[in-house]
Amino acid sequence: MKSILVLIGGGPRDRVVFETALAAARPLSAHLDCLHIHVTMEQSARDIAFESRGAALRNALSRMQAKSEILARASKTAADNIRELCARAMIELRDREAAADRPPDATGVTASYREEMDNGLERLIVHARQSDLVVMGRAKQTQGLPQDTLEHLILRCGRPMLLAGADAPKQLDTIMVCWKKSDYSARAVAAATPLLTRAKRVVLTTVAEPDAGGLQALNELARQYAGDSAQTDAKIIPANGRKIPDVLSAAAEECAADLVVMGAYGRGRALEFLFGSCTESLMAHSDKPILLLH
């Protein structure tokens, strides 16, 4: 896990997103590839025209101008934020060419910054597929990208997504894994292994009725991440009538998790749409950083 794509929006959440990515990058000596998608006036106009289809268009021109000005400010702010954040963290800000020549055994975190124009979601998916990890905020997008950008990335990029929480952790010392006997849960744990093996404490949690066989299997999984200085715990928590996201959120608070790892959208999007998503509910209930993989 050497290349981390960090989506920078040019807003007040850039610091938390960047510092969350930095917490993951430090134990891995990874490179932070900071990316801002600059949506141009032409793309903004197309989006507004689509949004206004079938409705009155009398305010379309003024809306387009206002949105264009906001996006231009976000572009400048994104670049300024990255320069300031890298300077504060004493991280070398390299150009893309120098970053590409970085030796694979290099130590220390480096960073680069770039901006893409238009075709924002498709370009973002391309860059995400070329990275080992993608870090972004979990809120709906306001800098010109589609509001469901996060969902599209989770479902289409094939890479683990680290979603920043309310605050950025300084280190990922305690990681809680939301475990379930499923392919998507196993993939998420495998993707998070570079971070799990460097954590000081790994807590594997599943919501189910207590079962000796299940606890033994969970303990065996936990021992895979036990190192000389690492502590591993396994917990089976009965729901007792509570919703699973509520149980997991409370468990993350109880163990003071710096990061939560879970599979995403396990039942298929058609069922998730009809009956709700545990993934989305946990994001709404917990302010912890969450690492997801579909």
Determine what percent of the chain is predicted with pLDDT higher than 70.
74
CA 234 to chain centre: 24
Domains of the chain: 3-163 (3.40.50.620), 174-293 (3.40.50.620)
Binning pLDDT at 50, 70 and 90, where does residue 266 land?
Answer: low
pLDDT digits (tens, 9 = 90+) for 62-72: 555 555 566 66
Residue 33 has a CB neighbour count (10 Å cut-off) of 22
Q: What is the pLDDT at residue 268? A: 52
CA 268 to chain centre: 20
Q: Is 191 left (phi over 0), alpha (psi -120 to 50) or beta?
A: alpha
Instruction: Please count the helices (runs of H) and the strands (runs of E) in the chain.
Output: 11, 11
Q: What is the distance between the alpha carbons of residues 187 and 160, in angstroms, rounded to a whole number?
A: 9
At residue 128, does pLDDT exceed 50? Answer: yes
Q: What is the distance between the alpha carbons of residues 227 and 257, in angstroms, rounded to a whole number?
A: 18
At residue 100, does pLDDT exceed 80? Answer: no
Q: What is the distance between the alpha carbons of residues 277 and 275, in angstroms, rounded to a whole number?
A: 7
Give mean pLDDT, residues 189-205: 92
What pairing do the DSSP bridges indicate for beta strands 92-94 and 290-293?
Answer: unpaired
Q: Which one, of 96, 116, 254, 117, lies nearest residue 174 by Cα?
A: 254
Two structure tokens written together for 198: 């460097």
Which residue type does 23 have?
Answer: A
Residue 255 has a CB neighbour count (10 Å cut-off) of 18
Does the CA dihedral 139-144-147-148 come out positive or negative?
A: negative
Q: In what order do the strands lie in the sheet with 161-163?
A: 92-94, 110-117, 31-38, 3-7, 133-136, 161-163, 290-293, 259-263, 174-178, 201-207, 231-237
Q: What is the pLDDT at residue 254? A: 94
Name beta bridge partners: 161: 134, 292
Q: What is the distance between the alpha carbons of residues 21 and 43, in angstroms, rounded to a whole number?
A: 29
Binning pLDDT at 50, 70 and 90, where does residue 149 land?
Answer: confident
Whether the Cβ atoms of residue 85 and residue 15 lie closer than 8 Å to each other:
yes
For residue 58, count CB atoms less than 10 angstroms from its CB and return exposed for 0-12, middle for 13-18, buried for 19 or more.
exposed
Two structure tokens written together for 14: 């850039």
Q: What is the pLDDT at residue 216? A: 81
Which residue type does 220 have?
Answer: E
